[in-house]
Amino acid sequence: MTRALAALAVAILAVAPAAQAQKFEGLALTPPMGWNSWNHFACDISEETVRQTADAMVASGMRDAGYLYVNIDDCWHGERDADGFIGADPGRFPSGIKALADYVHSKGLKLGLYSDAGWKTCGGRPGSRGREFQDALTYARWGVDYLKYDWCSTEGLRAEGAYQTMAAALTAAGRPIVFSICEWGDNKPWEWAGDVGHLWRTTGDITACFDCEVDHGDWSSWGVLRILDLQEGLRAHAGPGHWNDPDMMEVGNGMSESEDRAHFSMWAMLAAPLIAGNDLRTMSETTRSILTNREVIAVDQDPLGIQGFRHSRDGDLEVWYRPLADEDWAVCVLNRGPAPRRIELDWHDETVSDELSGRQTLFNARLYRVRDLWTGKDLGTTRRVLDAEIGGHDVLMVRLARVLDADD
Ligand code: GLA
């Protein structure tokens, strides 16, 4: 090496960060959208169900509405071979994951898999501990596009390090794979996972009820409102490429229509990943129309990626705001209670300032058109008082579109 080259190498080493486990950059610039098998199928999953789900994702219009990932959760695994390579359960996935990935890709979709940082997954299948680089390579060879990485059987592991190891393994494998961190918010991933994963669970598991806690002995699962309330204080950590994940959706899994609508709306206000968790093959038209509401999806997928916030609460009624691109806002009035509630919103009484984004609604100086995102009706402008009745466990969700050539 010439002296000049050596000096250059020293200079590069001096500025380059220490070898660090970093995620694959440039992925999930808006919250990931797709489907995951767990909420509806749990361990009862097979390649046939996954293929049919991919077909349904296309036929239902979900793919065209933005849903991309078809994610297989726990229990796809078989055993490791003599060299330690993991394979799929030959009974449930006889054609193997590579063939399934090819099929899903042929539909214009992407395939996701699930593993665990510990010795075993939560369903007792082989985990990736000690096999991280080997498993990441296997997933990349199969054509996997998304990995959800769970946190069962991890005694003695430090979460940040364990997730960094898998992030490094995925990056080394060379394929762009979205990395979904699932340690239930136990180790405050929002404080360290921005460089490690593209999304991180903020809570324990969701369950299909609006406001309940289901006790499973040593852990609980949570209804929509409980999960929503647990997002308090986390919004500063979300943004393009790194999202808070309040868990996969329960739309179509047994709640009422209004509860499903409220759930979907609030996930959009939170800039949450929109991962459907129902049986797409048999869903009702009502469920389909909720999941494919383009204007609500556009709020979720807003390119600025600023998570919304609760602006006010009056008994069961909450008013949430989310700053959007082009100086628009999404506003969602959530009725947490079972009885209908009336709201009269005189925009001019409200000065909404968001310290995090530096955005202000400035209703006295700016005019916005108001559009109801669930009825698709224009409700006039912010000059008019918004007067509406909101059903129990329902929402009124509007988009305020700034009228640029008008003064109020
Ligand atoms: C954990 C996760 C769930 C699901 C199951 C699978 O509970 O939080 O989302 O992946 O494991 O066993």
- Give the model's confidence band at 279: pLDDT under 50 very low, under 70 low, under 90 confident, else very high: very high
**Residue 192 vs residue 2, higher pLDDT:** 192
User: What residues does CATH 2.60.40.1180 cover in the chain?
Assistant: 309-405
- Report the Cα 113 to chain-centroid distance in Å: 15
Q: How far apart are CA 257 and CA 337, in angstroms?
A: 15
Percent of the chain whose predicted confidence (pLDDT) is above 70: 94
> Which CATH architecture does the domain made up of 309-405 adopt?
Sandwich (2.60)
pLDDT of 10 strictly over 90: no
Shortest-distance Cα residue to atom 6 of ligand 1: 74
Cα(127) to centroid(ligand 1), Å = 13
Q: Which residues contact 30 (CB under 8 A, 6 or more apart)?
A: 240, 300, 301, 302, 303, 305
Closest approach atom of ligand 1 to CA 219: 7
Helices in 148-256 by DSSP H: which ranges? 159-173, 224-229
Q: How far apart are CA 355 and CA 236, in angstroms?
A: 10
The pLDDT of residue 14: 42
pLDDT of 115 strictly over 50: yes
Cα(390) to centroid(ligand 1), Å = 34
The pLDDT of residue 17: 45
Please state the rounded mean pLDDT for residues 82-95: 98
The pLDDT of residue 12: 43
Catalytic residue among 74, 145, 150, 328: 150
The pLDDT of residue 407: 61
Q: Is 116 a catalytic residue?
A: no
Which amino acid belongs to residue 406?
A: A
Please list every protein residue whose CB sits less than 6 Å from any atom of ligand 1.
38, 73-74, 121-123, 150, 182, 205
The pLDDT of residue 408: 62
pLDDT of 2 strictly over 80: no
Please state the rounded mean pLDDT for residues 298-314: 98
Cα(150) to centroid(ligand 1), Å = 7
The pLDDT of residue 5: 47
Half-sphere exposure of 181 (CA within 13 A, CB side): 35
Q: Is 150 a catalytic residue?
A: yes
Closest approach atom of ligand 1 to CA 122: 12
Catalytic residue among 73, 205, 245, 260: 205
User: What residues does CATH 3.20.20.70 cover in the chain?
Assistant: 17-300
**Residue 264 vs residue 349, higher pLDDT:** 264
The pLDDT of residue 351: 85
Average pLDDT of the chain to the nearest whole number: 95
Percent of the chain whose predicted confidence (pLDDT) is above 90: 93
**Mean pLDDT lowest among 14-23, 254-263, 316-325, 375-384:** 14-23
Ligand 1: which of 122, 153, 214, 218 to mutate, most ligand atoms within 8 Å of CB? 122
Superfamily, domain 17-300: Aldolase class I (3.20.20.70)
For residue 151, what are the CA distances in angstroms to 16, 115, 156, 204? Answer: 31, 9, 12, 11
Ligand 1: which of 44, 45, 73 to mutate, most ligand atoms within 8 Å of CB? 73
- Give the model's confidence band at 350: pLDDT under 50 very low, under 70 low, under 90 confident, else very high: confident
pLDDT of 110 strictly over 70: yes
Cα(162) to centroid(ligand 1), Å = 17
The pLDDT of residue 404: 87
Shortest-distance Cα residue to atom 3 of ligand 1: 205
The pLDDT of residue 21: 55
Ligand 1: which of 182, 187, 200, 218 to mutate, most ligand atoms within 8 Å of CB? 182
Angle at 16 between CA 14 and CA 21, to 5 degrees: 140
For residue 198, what are the CA distances in angstroms to 58, 135, 387? Answer: 25, 19, 40
- Give the model's confidence band at 6: pLDDT under 50 very low, under 70 low, under 90 confident, else very high: very low
pLDDT of 339 strictly over 70: yes
What pTM was estimated for this model as a whole?
A: 0.95
Beta strand spans in 3-120 (E) = 33-36, 69-71, 77-80, 86-88, 110-116
Q: For 22-52, how does the pLDDT look when each residue is reduced to its tens digit (9 = 90+)? A: 899 999 999 999 999 999 999 999 999 999 9
Q: Is the dihedral of CA 377, 381, 384, 389 positive or negative?
A: positive
User: What are phi and psi for residue 224, nearest 5 degrees?
Assistant: -55, -50
